[in-house]
Amino acid sequence: MIKALWIILCTATLLPNALASTVELNKVPLHGDWDLQTAQAMLAAGDYGNAFDRYRAAANGRHPLAQFTLGLFYQNGWGRAADRETACEWFEQAAQNNVPAAQHMTGLCYEEGSHRPADTVAAAQWFQKAAQAGHLNSYCHLGNLLMTGNGIAKNPIQALELCRPAALQGSVPAQIWMGKFYLYGDPSVSNPQEAYQWFLAAAQKQSAEAFYHLGMMLAQGLISGHNAAQTRQLFEQAATLNYVPAYFQAGKHFFAAEADAATGLLPAEHLAKAYVWISAAIRRSNDAQEVVAARTMRQQILAVMPSTWLAELDRKVARHLQPD
């Protein structure tokens, strides 16, 4: 059971980088509001129904923390069906009451067109407000709009300049953004070596997404001096940390590993790992083409894998995919 509301706010959201400075909400005074303090304790204890009722009463009284928390209820499906549109409506109310993390979330909502028609100009304005209020990762989201020229004037150099300070301060989401900008951004700033260094910095803090991007760079031959074993290891690290896009890549690379020189067969450990990760991809991937490829590969694995392994490996897949 999560023991503190602020742990919940920082870890349970589906968009972790959006809440990188949620701790700042500690600065929002409770004004001795016993009901809100009780709601906070109920939420920390997982009593979602009663906590929601108390937060809603406070939110209707325009308490910004309550408004933001109601957004999290709907975003994360705490005790109710997830509802992104309603979540965004509450985030915007909290944003208008100057909650930096809510301003960032509102920027995402406008960028996605979740509760209003997509509006990248409004998204940029909310990202800028959040960043100027101390939510530095918002500069990277603003930078992404500048990098792509999505609804605002394109400026790749400014995009890098806006995001770099947060990355230099050690923000993992910002480091990921810098890596993406240098790897996938405008050709005028493309620099695989810079991308590699930023992903490496994030990976040193156990970022699953960073491990994945490093694996992709090695698999694509963008970084020299590495071997297939290192590529497999990176994908497996990302997959072990539940980064879903890494499941298929890990399985594929284990299945493509070198055969044992003595037997001419794939080592048993590699064959088992290939089955586990490919099976996980089939169950969790949102990429329809990837799922089709994974099903085909699973049949190929089953054709050479001893049937006696199947029950235990399926149990490993289930244990990995079960909710925390």
Q: What is the CATH number of the domain that holds 38?
A: 1.25.40.10
Is 88 within the bounds of a domain? yes
Pair (315, 220) in one structural domain: yes
**218 and 309 in a common domain:** yes
Query: In terms of domains, do 186 and 200 share one?
Result: yes
φ/ψ (deg, to 5) at 278: -65, -40
265 within a domain of the structure (yes/no):
yes
Residue 78 is encoded by which pair of tokens? 């705490």
* Radius of gyration of the CA atoms of the chain, in A: 22
d(C-alpha 194, C-alpha 173), whole Å? 16
**Contact 58/36 with Cβ under 8 angstroms?**
yes
Give residue 37's pLDDT: 87
Task: Give yes or no: residues 103 and 193 share one domain.
Answer: no
Look at residues 209, 183, 186 and name the one whose alpha carbon lies nearest to residue 196: 183
How many domains are contained in the chain? 3
Q: What pLDDT is stored for residue 51 in this prediction?
A: 94
Q: Is residue 233 in some structural domain?
A: yes
- pLDDT tens digits in sequence order for the chain, 324 residues long: 333 333 233 333 333 333 333 333 433 444 446 678 899 999 999 999 999 999 999 988 789 999 999 999 999 999 999 999 999 999 999 999 999 999 999 999 999 999 999 999 999 999 999 999 999 999 999 999 999 998 899 999 999 999 999 999 999 999 999 999 999 999 999 999 999 999 999 999 999 999 999 999 999 999 988 899 999 999 999 999 999 999 999 999 999 999 988 888 999 999 999 999 999 999 999 999 999 999 999 999 999 999 999 999 999 999 999 875
Neighbours of 286 (CB within 10 A): 8
Check whether residue 195 and residue 225 sit in a common domain: no
CA atoms of 277 and 313, how far apart (whole Å): 10
Is the distance from CB of 189 to CB of 160 less than 8 angstroms?
A: yes
15 and 46, same structural domain?
A: yes
Lookup result for tokens 């690379």: 253
In a domain, 125, yes or no: no
Tokens found for residue 224? 């020299």
Please report, for the domain that includes residue 158, its CATH number: 1.25.40
Quick one: 217 and 282 in the same domain?
Answer: yes
For residue 185, tell me if it sits in a domain: yes
* pLDDT value, residue 324: 57
- Claim to verify: residue 201 and residue 216 sit in the same structural domain: no
Q: Which of 73, 89, 120 represents a domain boundary (last residue)? A: 120
Same domain, 141 and 107: no
Distance, CA of 23 to CA of 15 (rounded, Å):
15
Residue with tokens 């991308």, as numbered in its chain: 195
Half-sphere exposure of 98 (CA within 13 A, CB side): 4
Confidence at residue 21, expressed as pLDDT on a 0 to 100 scale = 35
Q: Please say whether the beta carbons of 116 and 110 come within 8 A.
A: yes
Q: Which of the listed residues 120, 150, 175 is the one where a domain comes to its end?
A: 120
- Residue 88: which domain range? 1-120
Residue 254, pLDDT score: 98
Residues 159 and 222 placed together within one structural domain of the fold: no
What's the pLDDT at 277? 98
Does 234 fall in a domain? yes
Which of residues 172, 189, 205 is at a domain's end? 205
What is the pLDDT, as a whole number, of residue 33? Answer: 63
**Does residue 255 sit in the same domain as residue 178?**
no
Within a domain: residue 126? Answer: no
On whether both 70 and 40 belong to a single domain, the answer is yes
10 lies in some domain: yes
Q: What's the pTM value of the predicted model, to 2 decimals?
A: 0.84
Query: Which three-class secondary structure state does DSSP give residue 207?
Result: coil
